[in-house]
Structure 1
């Protein structure tokens, strides 16, 4: 699964507005923001970069005033991490990823599950972006660009889902990328703090996963943070498969 997830990462990064490829790496950039989660690189599966390849990659980031940063499944390209560490890259994080297949997907009982919807208006995309910003504790701020990214995800073959408070207002949601290499990535599952513990994350996760299987994906994968969220995903049918490594080069 590591090679499939890494192949997906390459294809998905090539969808970015600006893409530069060099020395076995693909770098994807989002103009107008220096957010490191929207500007990073990943290696091709099996890449064996030289010192010169790594230096060229660093230069691509430096000339844009951005933090040199990579996300990848290390077992899909074992030679990459040592080459990056030799150049001074340090570990930001190591995240486990979970995978769901049509065989393991478990849908929550409909009677007890919150009603899940797909955004259709500009206002709903904007409100979902604001809800996710609150859910992630200010990691990013609500913006027209964030709402537009959610809209593009849905329009390009991915899926976006949310749950509305019965009294009005969006309280949580998530998105799933368009599939590539037979798999798709579910990300950004978030619920406003005041509404947690009501099954919103579970309902959104199951709905998005089911939607991607209906569109032909053979699997859906995600990363998680914390044992609480892991239990939510495992109840939906997600199972541990591997790890992803996040490396960046501190300023000189």
Structure 2
């Protein structure tokens, strides 16, 4: 599974608007945002990597801080090279996977509905809730809307949640599926609507839509104990380790 996940990450980064290659690395760049969670690199699994390759990668980022995300078992000697180039470990995360067989049917909490955002107002409303939940309050700009519409055209899933009176309450989405596998991310619930089962319902809805489209494996990373429990309740199971490493 580690190799399959890493290959999917490589494929996803190659779809970024300004993607680039540097030796054994793929840089998933999008000049429309400064977010380090979008602009990062990953190694091509199985490639030989040298210190000179790492130096070239750092240079390829230009003015951007060099940052990588990858499955550790797919490049076991890379961390040492990156540390030697002045990068520092940002996080070590365990990723979880879900399949159609493990997905647990989950009810939407009373007072909420889940929907697929279509209009600019709907997309912007859900993104605003996500931004606030992740500590970056702000409205969605034209580049955010274009980015979301672009991945949706290529098969990504985007789900929003709102109250009966139309207030946006949460949401989440995916990257573009690749080779039967897809990453789920951005699961967020507004502060006023938490601890009611909405995050689990959103996650299960996204996974279900992926499986209906033919995806075989959905995967994600948990940001803490609370989210870990949410994802396990809807059928996600630990499967491997990923490293986040950067120089700021």
Output the TM-score relative to the length of structure 1: 0.93
2:92 alignment partner in structure 1: 94
Q: Which residue number corresponds to residue 3 of structure 1?
A: 3
Q: Extract unaligned runs of 5+ from structure 2.
A: none
Mapping for residues 59-74 of structure 1, pairs under 5 Å: 59-62=59-62, 65-74=63-72
1:50 is aligned to 50
Partners of 1:114 and 1:199 within 8 A in 2: no
Task: Give the number of aligned pairs.
Answer: 248
**Counterpart-to-counterpart distance in 1, 2:137 and 2:109:** 34
- Structure 1 position 202, deviation (Å): 0.9
Equivalent residue of 2:204, what SS? helix
* 2:122 aligned counterpart, secondary structure: helix
Q: CA deviation at 1:153?
A: 2.5
Task: Give the equivalent residue in structure 2 for 1:115.
Answer: 113
Structure 2 length as normaliser, TM-score? Answer: 0.94
Residues 24-173 of structure 1: matches in 2 within 5 Å?
A: 24-62=24-62, 65-109=63-107, 114-138=112-136, 142-173=140-171
Q: Give the CA deviation at 1:139.
A: 6.8
Deviations 1:179-221 (A, max 9, x none): 1132100000001101101221111111110111111111000
- Which residue number corresponds to residue 17 of structure 1? 17
Cα–Cα, structure 1 residues 22 and 58, in superposed 2: closer, same or farther, change >3 Å?
same
111 and 22 in structure 1: CA distance in 2 versus 1, 3 angstrom threshold? closer
Quick one: structure 1 residues 170 and 139, their matched pair in 2 at CA, closer, same or farther if it must change by over 3 Å? Answer: closer
Residues 1:158 and 1:76: Cα distance change in structure 2 (over 3 Å): same
Residue aligning to 2:243? 245
CA contact (8 A) 2:22 2:60 kept: no
Q: Distance in 2 between matches of 1:149 and 1:67?
A: 22
Contact 1:100–1:238 under 8 Å retained in 2: yes
Pick the aligned partner of 1:201 from 172, 181, 199: 199
Where structure 1 has 5 or more consecutive residues not aligned to the other structure, the ranges are none
Q: CA RMSD in A?
A: 1.7
3-state DSSP of counterpart to 2:73: helix
Q: Structure 1, residues 91-117: CA drift from partner, whole Å, max 9, x if none?
A: 011111110011100011468694211
Q: Distance in 1 between matches of 2:12 and 2:111?
A: 31
Q: Which moved more, 1:102-111 or 1:77-86?
A: 102-111
